[in-house]
Amino acid sequence: MDEDTALRAVALCCPPGGSLRIQFTGGEPLLKLELMEAVASFGKDTGRRLTLSVQTNGTLLTPDTCRRLKAIRCGVGVSLDGVDEANRLRVFPDGTPCYDVVVQGIRNLGETGMRCGLTAVVTCVNASQLGQLADLALYLGNVAGVGLDLFRPLGRGAGQCLSTTAEDLTAGLRKLTTKTKAFEAAGIPFRFRELERMRKRKASPVCVETYCYAQTSLSFAVDGRGDCWPCSSLAGRAGFCLGNLRDGLPEKNCKANDLAAPKTCGSCPSFAQCLGGCPAGRVENGKNDPLTCVMHRVLAASEK
Ligand code: SF4
């Protein structure tokens, strides 16, 4: 993405004086740190209140990069699937494991006074070991929490068969929820994103029918060409482009109906807490991955 495209996206989405949340994602967005800084400066210079975050693979978190991220007040999410071997799908292009480099990057953030979140893709490699993510957070000391994305055969995962089993997912989720609750009991700040969302929905069961912003017209993912998509997981997916910034901002998400919760979810007792799960995950075959139900039911059971 060039600077013109990035600033055009910000200008179209947010008037001067307004507020906008921006997540830089990729690819690897830290390859374009100067573009992120240009966006931050543009917001400051034009009176737009921008809340910035970056989702990174963590391999470029040098001390200097951490300082620059801190200077633009950019939140950091690091993609990491577990400890050491559980992370073996994340490698450099030459096949070298990146785990040690990523852990050093998180330490560099800590030395700059920054915390980060971890985002793990749940696959057949790491599912039964999800509890390790909580151990790692405790060990590193500057990890605020963990979020889970079930593996989807989209983007770089296209054509791969890395889904886990219901048994392994259940075992891994139980370990992670048990550790999360132990941290809570000990007063250790740690957020397990999916559990927290479920608790929030349970505490205030307002009539919300959307799982995420991809099903609304409140956010868009913008790619390097200025094409707009319902979310970054669907970027490049045939039939899901909402338009290009050169024609202005898409007026609404014309794909929202395609991303609505499946009808079968309507009669599910977990619907109020689950809201049908990630819509991008069912684009491939039109129905939910059964693991979506497993995840939400295991989390719901852990709260009883
Ligand atoms: S648990 Fe499964 S069936 Fe129930 S609402 Fe969630 S995705 Fe739909």
pLDDT digits (tens, 9 = 90+) for 16-30: 999 999 999 988 999
CA of 241 to the centre of ligand 1 (A): 27
Confidence of residue 155 (pLDDT cuts 50, 70, 90): low
Closest-lying ligand 1 atom to the alpha carbon of residue 269: 4
Q: Which residues line ligand 1 (CB under 6 A)?
A: 264-265, 268, 270-271, 274, 276-277, 288, 292-293, 296-297
The one-letter code for the residue type at 112 is T
CA of 38 to the centre of ligand 1 (A): 42
pLDDT tens digits, residue range 191-206? 999 999 889 888 876 5
| C-alpha distances out from residue 195 to 148, 192, 299, 301, 302, Å | 10, 6, 6, 11, 9
The b/e string for 171-199 (b: 16+ C-beta within 10 A; e otherwise) is bbbbbbbebbeebeeeeeebbbebbebbe
The CA distance from 182 to 178, in Å, is 6
Confidence of residue 259 (pLDDT cuts 50, 70, 90): confident
Closest residue to atom 1 of ligand 1, CA basis: 293
Q: Domain residues of the chain, as ranges?
A: 1-52
